[in-house]
Amino acid sequence: MKIDYCKEAIADLERLREFIAVHDPAAASRYAQRLIEGITRLQDQPLLGHAVPAAPDPDTIRDLITGDYVVRYALLSEQILILRIWHHRENWK
C-alpha cells in the first residue's frame, strides 16, 4: 500500500525536526529516521494504528504511536495518507 503525506504532515515533520535540532542536531536526524521507519511499517500493517473514535469516520482515521510521536493517518482503499504528526506531550487537537 502506498504512503503519502499531506502538506500539513510534511510541515509537522519539519517543525519537529527543527525543534530537536536546536538542542541536538544529530538527535534530530535519529528521531526523524525512527519516525519514518515507524510510519513505513504501515505499508505492510495498515491497521497497526488504532481507530480515532472522535473522527467523523473512525473506521478510516487512525492514530499510530511510534516512539514519543502520534501519527494520524487516513486508511483509504489504495493509499495511506499521513494527515498530521505531533509529539505526545503537545497539546494538539
Residue 44 pLDDT: 93
Residue 92 pLDDT: 59
Does an H or E element contain 84, and which? strand 79-87
The domain containing residue 55 runs over which residues?
2-87
On whether residue 81 sits in a domain, the answer given is yes
Residue 91 pLDDT: 65
On whether residue 93 sits in a domain, the answer given is no
Q: Please report, for the domain that includes residue 54, its CATH number.
A: 3.30.2310.20
Q: How many domains does the chain have?
A: 1
Nearest to 64 by CA among 92, 93, 84: 84
Mean pLDDT by 10 residues, the chain (93 residues): 95 89 86 90 94 90 93 95 89 60
Question: Contact 62/45 with Cβ under 8 angstroms?
Answer: no
On whether residue 10 sits in a domain, the answer given is yes
On whether residue 61 sits in a domain, the answer given is yes
On whether residue 25 sits in a domain, the answer given is yes
